[in-house]
Structure formats: C-alpha cells, structure tokens
Chains A and B, each alone.
Chain A
Amino acid sequence: MFKKIYTLLIVILCFAPLVTAQAEADSIRMMLEERDDEIKDLLGPKGTEYTQEQRDRLKDIINDVINYRSMAQHALGDTYNEISEEEREEFVSLFSTIIRDNSLNRLDIYRAEVTYNNIEVNEDSAFVATTAQLEDVRTSVDYNLERFDNTWMITDMTIDQVSTADSYNRQFQSIIRQRGFDALMESLRRRAARS
C-alpha cells in the first residue's frame, strides 16, 4: 500500500514542474495575445488617422508589459552599479521615455500576424519565439520575460536576431568609453526632450 503511495508521489513530483511550466507558458501566451488583440483593435485598418489620446493609449499598451528598469540596467552594464541612485533613476526615466517614443515610429508592424513558435519557461524567466508576418515581410521577434511580483514582464526584445538591450548596451558602452557617462546623459536628455 505504502509502496503504491510512494510511487504515486514520485510520479506527481516528476511531472508537476512540467505541468506548471506548461500552465505558465499558456498564461504568457494568453497575455501576449491579449496585448496583440488590444493593439490591433486600437490600430484599426491601414491608413487610420490617430488622435493624441489614441496614440497615448497605444503607447501604454505597447509598453506596459516592458520592464524598463531591468532593460536599462542591462543596457548600461557595469556602469549601472557605479552611478548614484539619483543618476540611475534619471537614466531609467530617460531610457524608458526614448523607447516609448520610438515604439510608435512604425505602427504598421503591430498589424502583423503573429505565430508563436516556442515558449520556454524556466522558473522565473521565460523565452518566447514568434514570427510576425506583415503582408510579404516576415520578421522573427523573440521576447525575454521575467516574473516580477507574480507578473510576467518583457526584459528584452530580439528583432530579426538583434537584441534591443544588447544594442543599447553596445552603443552606450561605446559612448561612455569615448565621451564619458555625462555626455551620454546629456544626449539622452536632449533626445527625451524631443519626445
């Protein structure tokens, strides 16, 4: 009798992580699909003119699932730990402003049909591989996600095999090396002011 119970327990313990991972993968997919549907509803057909209110709403939906602090930390690399708390806060704020502003540069891309190729969940981090197809243009878009307070958030987007966080990191490091952190902050302030 006990032998059977043990066997059952072992089976449950073996399969439990798989079941949980699948449930998490489903929840991530649902979250991304809901976001996608919401964006498409707001976008409407091609050629639609948008009011400022609609643009702001779009910006919110597109960006609300992105964790800017994490992305900004990755983008700044080791320098993030070397600067003061105030500088960090300002950097994160400027960084998020620029990305949020850039997110509306090409609205058409949000009309693409999304195919989910793979969702991998590993405890508190996840990787989602998708293909976005807009008319005859196919783009691979992959997301790195992490769980913050029980909510999955995007920490990096890899578009056509180019990581956004890595690109910023490479660029910021280059500017810091050549001109220093202050010059970078100055440029970011100027850029954010244009938003």
Chain B
Amino acid sequence: MLNIKDLSRTGTIIFLFFIVCKPAISQDTLFVTLPEFLERGLSNSGQVAYESGKVDLARNRVRTVKSQRIFPRLELNTQHGVVPGVESKRQDLGEGEYYLDPDLENDWNNWAVFTRAELSATQPIYTWGAVSSAVKAAEAGAKSAQYEFSAVKAEARIQLFDLYYSYLLAIEISRILEDANEQLNRVEKNINEMREEGNPDLKESDVFKFEIFKSEFVTRRVEVQQSLDYIKRVWDYALQAEPGVVYMPASNFLDPVPYELQDYDYYRANAVQERPELRGVEFGITALEKRLEAEKARQYPLFFFGITGSFANTPNRPRQTNPFIRNNTNYGSVGVGFGIRQNLNILSMRASVDKARIEYKRVNDLEKAVSDQIILDLNERYREAAVAETRMKQTEEALVTARNWVRNEQLNYDIGFGDVEDFLDAVQKELELRVKLKQNVYDLNKKVAALYKAGGLPISQLNLK
C-alpha cells in the first residue's frame, strides 16, 4: 500500500512527466490572398458592421410604413373574470326584467366566468396619396442607406488594400536589406584584401565613407524591422487573428497591379453613374420628394372605413331583451361605417410641409456639393495615379541604369581597373533605387486603387490575386 510520501513522489513524477512531454506551442502560418484579406477584414470591421445596422433600420422602416396600408388601426380588447350572479325577491319579474327591481342583490352563492371582447378597426380608403408616397419615401430611403453603406465599405476596402500592400512592401524592403547586407560584407572583404595587399587604389576616404554607410545601414534595418512588426500587429487586429496563427500575404512579391490608365472622361462618366455617394443622394432626393408629397396630402381630409364590435357574456347574469337597456355583463353589438378625419391645425400642417420642402431643397443642394466633391476628388486621384505611374517607370529605368553601373564597376574590378569609391557609389545608388522602386510600386498600387474608388469602379476589377 502506498503511503503519503509515495503518493506525493508519484504525483511529482507524473507532473514532471506532463511538463516535459507538453507539446511545444507551435504557430500555424496562414497565407492569405488579397481578396480573402479584403473579405475577412471587412467582415471584422466595426465601422462596416455599424453602418450595416443603418441599412437594417431603413429596411425596417419600409416594413413599418407598408404595414400602415392595411388596417393601420386594428384593436382587440378582452377582459375576463369571475362575478356573482343576481337575485330578486320579486316573483313577478322574469330574468329579462330584473332591471325593474331597484332592490336587486348579488347572489354570493352563484359564481360564473365573465368574458368581454371589443374590436375596433379603421381602414383608410382615400388619402390623396399620403400612404403610397410614404411607402415610396421609405423605399427610396432604404436604397439611399444601402448606397451610403456601399460607400463606407469602399473606403474600408481601400484601407485594407493599403494594409495588404504595406506588408508586401515591408517584406520586399527587408529582402533588399538582406541582400544589401551580403553586398556590404563582400565590399568589406574586398577592402580588407586591398589593405592587406597594400593596393594603392584604396583611399582612406573610401574606407571612412564605407564605415558611415554601414552605420546608417544598421539604423535602416532596425526601422524596417520595426515597420514589419507594426504591420504584423495591425494585420492580426484587422483579421482578428486566432492565437498561435500567423497570417502572411499569399504573394511574396510586391508587383504593380495589372492596370492601364484610361482617359479622364472614362472615369468621370463612370463616377457620375456609379459613385455610391452620388447614388445615395439621388435616392435621398427621391425619398424627400415623396415625403413632401405625403406631407401635402396630410392637409386634406382622410376618408376611412371603420368597423367596431363588442361582446360580453356572463352565464349567471340575465341578458336584457330590451335593446335600450344595456347590461354590461351580457350584450353584443356590431357596427360598420364610413368616416372622414381632418386635422384642423392648419398652421402646424403648413409648418410640416415647409419643413419637408426645406429638407428637399437641402438634399438637392447636397447633390451638387457631393457632385463637386467627387469631381475634385477624381481629378486629384487621376493626377496622382498618372504621376505615380510615371514615377515608377522612371525609377525602373533609373534602376536599370544603376544596375548597369554596378555591373560596370564589378567588371572594372574583375579586369583590374576597379575604384572603391565608384563601386561603393554604384552599390549605394542601386540599393536606394531598389528600395525606391518598391516604394513607388506600393504608391502606384495605392493611387490606382484610390482612382478606381474615385471613379466608382470596384477594385476587384483589377484582377487581384
């Protein structure tokens, strides 16, 4: 039999066994394509979710207004209870004549269930278009909310697009720096060899320059590493990363998006047709126009059809046969009729119509303001995209020249005409241009996406992978 000491020792061994055998927490890497990143980022966006709530509210309003078309007032009221019966000491009165006995008393030995139901309903017949205009206003309002939501989504999509490419840019720059580090090591080795050989081509000024460059390079590496870490954290937040999962772009290279700059008029025509902000305002105008019509219609009399019905039953109470004498516990009646309702507060009604008219005018002015803003925005985005494209192409050309320069300097070294300063300058320029080119590609992609958004074109048309 195990004693306490044995048990404690066994427990410790088991505990240690689990500690040792506990599998190391491994991290899964999940590669995400740009469309997947956009989709997932949008589904996690708080702003997008908040805006989608506005669309739901607008749709709910449509259902509410539509429900007002059929029996906007329909009420059923029922009451139930137990009540005592009645008794009369007079022998000459039948049950239907009890109302003639002033000494009628409750019969506390006779209890029964009391039931009463009252139904009332009104159905508008003619409203001068008030109801149908209100429905159309609500429907247009819902469409306007849907377009406003599309505009918010387009903005969020652009931000995610930038974030995706930021990661690729950081990866590319770290790769260039790794490559540069190798080159620096080669140059350092070369300088050391020249020094050992006592090569007269090696100038001390070149060595100083090289040392300064190396020091600056260390700072640059730290900057890039910090940027990469920062972007990873933002990615995790945007994707609501699960613990132990590392998300990375499916692509490994930052390339220009497949795109060709069209004429400005192409984007302008499309923006006027498709920009969700503009479409939203257009439907907003329709909504307020219909609301104005509804407000005007409310100034006129409302013709309606009404139904009313009442019924009460208590088995132990007498039912009066005389229609002029009503017993509240036992009766039945029904009525159907036609009515006119007119609000006579003319000043209040005029104020409501004026308010609707002012709002209608305001939203018309808003359309002009939004239109102006869209054209200005589009002009700016078009200019930026065109400049970014040229800047990228020119940097590409400059990089080819720098590569040629490096190659020349390498060849010079190879056949014995090398100059350290020239070689260092060439390598430094090539590195600068490689980094600059990647930054310009990133900038171009951003600007193209912004141009697409400004022109009302979905960025999915860029055939992103």
- Cβ-based interface call for B415 (8 A): yes
- CB pair A102–B414 under 8 Å, yes or no, is yes
Is the pair B412, A161 in contact by a Cβ cutoff of 8 Å? no
B108 near A: Cβ within 8 Å?
Answer: no
What DSSP secondary structure best describes chain B's contact surface?
helix
Contact across chains for B416 and A171 when beta carbons are under 8 A apart: no
Chain B residues within 8 Å of A187, by CB: 415-417
- Residue A191 lies at the interface, judged by CB distance under 8 Å to chain B: yes
Which residues from B are CB-within-8-Å of A98? Answer: 414-415
**Which residue of B175, B179, B411 contacts A171 across the interface (Cβ within 8 Å)?**
B411
With A136-B175, A136-B252 as contacts: A170 and B416 at CB distance below 8 Å: no
- Mask of B396-409 contacts with A, CB within 8 angstroms, 1/0: 00001001100110
Using A136-B252, A137-B179, A138-B253 as known contacts, say yes or no to A191 and B415 having CB atoms under 8 A apart: yes
Which chain B residues (368-414) contact chain A, with CB distance < 8 Å?
400, 403-404, 407-408, 411-412, 414
Q: Return the chain B residue nearest A163 by Cβ.
A: B404
Considering the complex, give the chain A residue whose CB is closest to the CB of B175: A136
Do the beta carbons of B179 and A191 come within 8 Å of each other?
Answer: no
Min Cβ gap B217→A in Å is 19
User: With A136-B175, A137-B179, A191-B415 in contact, do A170 and B408 touch (Cβ < 8 Å)?
Assistant: yes
A8 within 8 A of B: no
Q: CA separation between A171 and B414, bound complex, in Å?
A: 11
In A105-134, the 8 Å CB interface with B consists of: none
How far is it, in angstroms, between the C-alpha of A70 and the C-alpha of B179 when the chains are bound? Answer: 33
B400 and A167 contacting across the interface, CB-CB below 8 Å: no
Q: How many residues of A contact B (CB 8 A)?
A: 20
Which secondary structure dominates where chain A touches chain B?
helix
A10 within 8 A of B: no
User: What residues on B are CB-neighbors of A171 within 8 Å?
Assistant: 408, 411-412, 415
Tell me the A147-195 residues at the B interface (CB within 8 Å).
Answer: 160-162, 166-168, 170-171, 174-175, 184, 187-188, 190-191
Chain A nearest CB from B400 CB (Å) reads 5
Q: In the complex, what residues of A have CB within 8 A of residue B411's CB?
A: 167-168, 171
Chain A residue nearest to B416 in the complex (CB): A187
Decide if B414 touches A191 in the complex (CB within 8 Å): yes
Residues B224-278 near A (CB distance < 8 A): 252-253
Residue from A137, A138, A188 within 8 A of B415 (CB atoms): A188
Q: Do residues B407 and A162 form an inter-chain contact, with CB atoms below 8 A?
A: yes
Indicate with 1 or 0, residue by residue over B176-190, a CB within 8 angstroms of chain A CB atoms.
Answer: 000100000000000
Flag if A190 contacts B416 (CB, 8 Å). yes
Residue of A nearest to B410 (CB): A167
Knowing A136-B252, A167-B408, the reply to whether A162 touches B416 (Cβ < 8 A) is no
The answer on a CB contact under 8 Å between B403 and A162 is yes
Task: Kindly state the separation between the CA atoms of A174 and B252 in the bound complex, as whole angstroms.
Answer: 40
In the bound complex, what is the Cα–Cα distance between A187 and B411 (angstroms)? 11
A36, chain B: closest CB distance, angstroms: 22
Query: Bound state CA distance, A188 and B414, in angstroms?
Result: 9
Distance (Å) between the CB of B249 and the closest chain A CB? 12
Query: Could you tell me which residues of chain B, from 171 to 212, have a CB within 8 Å of some CB in chain A?
Result: 171, 175, 179
Which chain B positions have C-beta within 8 A of A191? 414-416
Interface centre among B171, B400, B407 (most CB of A within 10 A): B407
Most chain A beta-carbon neighbours within 10 Å: one of B400, B411, B415: B415
Q: Are A161 and B400 in contact (CB under 8 A)?
A: yes
Q: Which residues of B contact A136 (CB under 8 A)?
A: 171, 175, 252
B313 smallest CB distance to A (angstroms): 88
- A77 vs chain B, min Cβ distance (A): 15
Cβ distance B403 to chain A, nearest Cβ, rounded Å: 5
Residue interface mask B303-345, A partner, CB < 8 A = 1: 0000000000000000000000000000000000000000000
Q: Mark A83-103, 1 if CB is under 8 A from B, else 0.
A: 000000000000000100010
The answer to whether A167 touches B404, judged by C-beta atoms less than 8 angstroms apart, is: yes
* Across-interface contacts of A190 in B (CB, < 8 A): 415-416
- Nearest-CB residue, chain A, relative to B412: A171
Whether A175 contacts B417 by the Cβ 8 Å rule is: yes
Interface of chain B residues 268 through 307 with chain A (CB within 8 A): none
* Docked pose: A137 CA to B411 CA in angstroms: 23
Most buried by A among B171, B252, B403, B417: B417
- A residues at B contact (CB < 8 Å): 98, 102, 136-138, 160-162, 166-168, 170-171, 174-175, 184, 187-188, 190-191
A-B contact pairs, 16 of them (CB 8 A): A102-B414, A136-B171, A137-B175, A137-B179, A138-B253, A162-B407, A167-B408, A167-B411, A170-B408, A171-B408, A174-B408, A175-B417, A190-B416, A191-B414, A191-B415, A191-B416
User: Which 4 A-B pairs give the minimum distances between C-beta atoms?
Assistant: A167-B407, A187-B415, A161-B400, A162-B403
Beyond A166-B404, A170-B404, A175-B415, list 6 extra A-B contacts (CB 8 Å).
Answer: A160-B400, A162-B407, A170-B408, A184-B415, A187-B415, A190-B415
